[in-house]
Every structure is written in structure tokens, then in C-alpha cells.
């Protein structure tokens, strides 16, 4: 298991380095002069030169990259060009809110999608199965922004059950979490149904039933454990996707998360914040996938011996 863990770490490091290089180049090559955006279009040439010198924008791309990498290795993500605060402080302010929203959304998806998929698989071809699959299809096809606006209209404006926007109480979290997790819920329901149906058709399941084992033992001890192996992988990937894809949901519900910070920083060409935010999301995604790989190997020993 230790050797497997080290192999996964070695694979993750080049991925992170590639992310750093790509983000650096994409931000630097984006159209527009960040010095003009910071100082205003009527700024004097001297002011623009001073801003470029302060943020190293007057140097060549290779020089800027090596300076950035050196600072990154020291744990210094730079200073925000807009707020003049350290980027690390900005991320500490916004990232916990995005993490809270993503955790709530994946919890909604797991507690809803997996049970629905199990129920559909246990009664294939029934009305329940058809209903679950129709709901799953709608969930996968439904645009997040449309569902979010519809949820606000029904549950906030018409019924008054939940706040329209913002962050504060647990009630503020309900609609954003459901909106963000609706696609993941549908995906998990379809994945769970498909994998469980496949496992239930295997010879060892028929053998377990022929031995006289109770149906609940066959389902939950033998079938479900094997069926959930690919589902766990999807849960990990979806959680990483929710962390990086919460921008629309955060915008609709005015949720003060990393998505709003990232969008504002991109529009303002705030290079340090954009690089820091994307690197944080990429690192989180890689670490989540590493954890999923370890769980996968713990459940199925064949994985770590491949």
C-alpha cells in the first residue's frame, strides 16, 4: 500500500507542475494590459511603468516564471493587485466558503443519488425504476443556472422557506447545495443503478442466493460493496468538479466563495490571485483523486497490485 501511495504522489507532482505552467501562460497571454486596468486608462506613462515594475510585468516571460516559481516554493503566492492583501489571506477568506458549499452539495448527491440508484436496480423495469431514470435524465440535462433561479422563485420568493441569497445560517446553504449537487445526484443515481445491475447478474451472486443467504445479505454484503467501487471514483471526481465549478451557483446565490473571487480577479487581470486560486483548486482536485485512489485500493486489493 505504501509503494502504491508513493507511485500516486510521483504521478501527481508533474500534473501540478503542468497546471502551474499552463495557468501562468494563460494569464500572461490574455489580452489587455493589467497595468492600465489597475491604474486607469488616463494614467501617466510613469505610473504605468511603476506598476509594471512593482509586479514584475516589465520582465520577460521566463524571468517572470522563475520569479513566481521561487516565491511559490517559499509559500509566497504574492500580493493581490486589487486589495493589496497577500493572496494567501484572500484564499483563506474565500476558499472555506466554497469548500463548505461543495461538501454540502456532494453530501446531498450521495445521500440522494446512491439510494435512488439502489432502489431502481432492485426493481428493474418497474415504475419506480422508470421514475428514477427520468428524474436522473432531467437532473443531468438541467442547466444549473436555470434550476437555481427556479429554486429561488419557488422556495424563496413564493413560499418564503429559504433566504434568497447570501451566507449566514444553515438555511442559506440549502438551496445553493441542492442546486450545485443536482447534476452529481443524477449522475450517481444512474451510475449506482448500472453497476449494481451488472453485479447482480454475476455468477457469485447467483451462487450466494443458491446457498440460501438472505436477500439483504446478498445485496448489501456481496453485491453493493463491489458495485460501489466505480461509484466511489465518481464521487471523488464529482467533488473535485464541484470545488472548481461552483462559480455559477455562487454567483446566483451571492455566495462569497472562491468562484466569485476568481471571476473578479480575471476581469481585473489580478494575476497573483488568479494563479493562486487556480493552483489551489488544482491541488485540491489532485489530492481528492489521490484519496479516491487509496480508497479504491483499500476496497479492491487487485488495484494496488496492478
Instruction: Print burial letters for 76-110: b (CB count within 10 Å at least 16), e (below 16).
Output: ebbbbbbeeebbbebbeebbebbbbbbebbbebbb
More confident residue, 102 or 205: 102
Model confidence pLDDT, tens digit, residues 268-290 = 777 778 888 888 887 888 788 77
Contact (CB, 8 A) for 58 and 52: yes
Instruction: Note the pLDDT of residue 39.
Output: 66
**CA 300, 303, 306 angle in degrees (round to 5)?**
150
Q: Which residues contact 286 (CB under 8 A, 6 or more apart)?
A: 12, 15, 16
Comparing C-alpha atoms, which of 62, 58, 31 is closest to residue 45? Answer: 58
More confident residue, 130 or 203: 130
> If DSSP states are collapsed to H, E and C, what string results for 41-71?
CCCCHHHHHHHHHHCCCCCCHHHHHHHHHHH
Identify which of 216-220, 250-254, 290-294 has the greatest average pLDDT.
250-254
Instruction: Note the pLDDT of residue 172.
Output: 84
Q: Is the pTM of this model over 0.85?
A: no
Model confidence pLDDT, tens digit, residues 203-232 = 777 787 787 777 777 777 777 777 777 787
Model confidence at 198, in pLDDT bands (50, 70, 90)?
confident
Domain 87-304 belongs in CATH node 3.30.2350.10: no
Model confidence pLDDT, tens digit, residues 137-177 = 888 888 888 888 888 888 888 888 888 877 878 888 888 88
Mean pLDDT of 103-111: 90
User: Could you identify the residue written with the cell 443536482?
Assistant: 182
Domain ranges within the chain, ordered by starting residue: 87-304
Q: Which three cell numbers stand for residue 61?
A: 516571460
Mean pLDDT of 223-251: 78
Instruction: Using alpha carbons, list the distances in angstroms from residue 87 to 232, 265, 277, 278.
Output: 33, 11, 9, 12
Amino acid at each position: 500500500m505504501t509503494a502504491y501511495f508513493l507511485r500516486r504522489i510521483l504521478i501527481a507532482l508533474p500534473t501540478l507542475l503542468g497546471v502551474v505552467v499552463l495557468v501562468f501562460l494563460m494569464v500572461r497571454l490574455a489580452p489587455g494590459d493589467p497595468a492600465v486596468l489597475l491604474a486607469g486608462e488616463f494614467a501617466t506613462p510613469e505610473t504605468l511603468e511603476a506598476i509594471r515594475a512593482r509586479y514584475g510585468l516589465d520582465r520577460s516571460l521566463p524571468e517572470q516564471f522563475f520569479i513566481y516559481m521561487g516565491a511559490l516554493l517559499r509559500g509566497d503566492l504574492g500580493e493581490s493587485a486589487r486589495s493589496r492583501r497577500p493572496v494567501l489571506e484572500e484564499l483563506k477568506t474565500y476558499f472555506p466558503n466554497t469548500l463548505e458549499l461543495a461538501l454540502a452539495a456532494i453530501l446531498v448527491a450521495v445521500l440522494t443519488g446512491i439510494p435512488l440508484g439502489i432502489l431502481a436496480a432492485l426493481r428493474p423495469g418497474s415504475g419506480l425504476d422508470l421514475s428514477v431514470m427520468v428524474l436522473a435524465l432531467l437532473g443531468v440535462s438541467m442547466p444549473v443556472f436555470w434550476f437555481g433561479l427556479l429554486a429561488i422563485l419557488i422556495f424563496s420568493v413564493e413560499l418564503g422557506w429559504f433566504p434568497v441569497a447570501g451566507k449566514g445560517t444553515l438555511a442559506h446553504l440549502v438551496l445553493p447545495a441542492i442546486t450545485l449537487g443536482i447534476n452529481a445526484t443524477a449522475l450517481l443515481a444512474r451510475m449506482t443503478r448500472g453497476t449494481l445491475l451488472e453485479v447482480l447478474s454475476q455468477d457469485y451472486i447467483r451462487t450466494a442466493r443458491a446457498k440460501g443467504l438472505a436477500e439483504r445479505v446478498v445485496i448489501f454484503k456481496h453485491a453493493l460493496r463491489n458495485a460501489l467501487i466505480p461509484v466511489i471514483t465518481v464521487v471523488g471526481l464529482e467533488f473535485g468538479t464541484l470545488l472548481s465549478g461552483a462559480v455559477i451557483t455562487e454567483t446566483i446565490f451571492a455566495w462569497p466563495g472562491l468562484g466569485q473571487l476568481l471571476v473578479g480577479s480575471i476581469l481585473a487581470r489580478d494575476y497573483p490571485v488568479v494563479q493562486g486560486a487556480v493552483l489551489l483548486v488544482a491541488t485540491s482536485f489532485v489530492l481528492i483523486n489521490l484519496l479516491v485512489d487509496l480508497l479504491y485500493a483499500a476496497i479492491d486489493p487487485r488495484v494496488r497490485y496492478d
